[in-house]
Chain A
Amino acid sequence: GNSVTQMEGPVTLSEEAFLTINCTYTATGYPSLFWYVQYPGEGLQLLLKATKADDKGSNKGFEATYRKETTSFHLEKGSVQVSDSAVYFCALSTNTGNQFYFGTGTSLTVIP
């Protein structure tokens, strides 16, 4: 079946630190991979996506590369800001089904 496993949180970093949030997946077929972000009190919104192997998604200084050989889509940012404090969800969808699958979410707090 299809599933997403992501790093347990919460994660607390100092401003300007390097961020990595690990995400691995299991999927039938060829999935598209996503990172969504949820700011406090809001719904999820797309951060970035990648639709095929070796694609790199990027947005707002965040990056993630679709690694088919390791079935991973780790999220990285070189220098986090306080405004990046949020919950981050890794997700996938496939072309053969009609569902989206989400990880459990990783809460990030950035302190000044």
Chain B
Amino acid sequence: EAQVTQNPRYLITVTGKKLTVTCSQNMNHEYMSWYRQDPGLGLRQIYYSMNVEVTDKGDVPEGYKVSRKEKRNFPLILESPSPNQTSLYFCASSPYGSGANVLTFGAGSRLTVL
């Protein structure tokens, strides 16, 4: 089944404790991206990647890092999480970036930072 898999689905952590949210896709997609969803703000793009070793900032990159060492994986790293990073996070992929390409989303990762 074609899918985007995120882990963990739920996580409660404390301020400053580094964490990684993994994302993997099995569709051989070139493009992958991370979004956060907050009430009243909709989805905002954090980072995206056009291909292996090619990443770029979205609209809200502060406090996050990403890497794309393999085509299928695109982990989101919070080096020192803070409470304002409490949010619902989505990873998504598409065959190519932008244009008419359709995003396939993961099921989401709900992160709480205390």
List chain A positions with a Cβ less than 8 A from chain B: 32, 34, 36, 41-46, 49, 51, 89, 93-95, 97-105
- State the CA gap A91–B92 with chains docked (Å): 14
A44:B100 contact, CB within 8 angstroms: no
Chain B interface residue count: which class?
Answer: 20 to 34
Q: Does B101 contact A (CB under 8 A)?
A: yes
Nearest A residue (CB) for B96: A98
Q: Which residues of B contact A46 (CB under 8 A)?
A: 102-103
A98 with B103, Cβ < 8 A, contacts A44-B90, A103-B42 known: no
A44 with B105, Cβ < 8 A, contacts A98-B31, A98-B50 known: yes
Q: Which residues of B contact A101 (CB under 8 A)?
A: 45
Q: Does B12 contact A (CB under 8 A)?
A: no
Pairs across A and B, CB under 8 Å, 21 listed? A32-B98, A34-B102, A43-B92, A43-B105, A43-B106, A43-B108, A44-B43, A44-B90, A44-B103, A46-B103, A93-B98, A93-B99, A95-B98, A99-B33, A99-B45, A99-B59, A100-B98, A100-B103, A101-B45, A104-B40, A105-B43
Q: Which residues of A contact B48 (CB under 8 A)?
A: 98-99
The B1-45 residues at the A interface (CB cut-off 8 A) are 4, 31, 33, 35, 37, 40-45
- State the CA gap A45–B3 with chains docked (Å): 11
Q: Which residues of B contact A89 (CB under 8 A)?
A: 42-43
- State the CA gap A100–B48 with chains docked (Å): 10
A28 to chain B, nearest CB (A): 12
A98:B56 contact, CB within 8 angstroms: yes
- State the CA gap A52–B88 with chains docked (Å): 32
B66 to chain A, nearest CB (A): 14
- State the CA gap A112–B111 with chains docked (Å): 34
Q: Which residues of B contact A105 (CB under 8 A)?
A: 37, 42-43
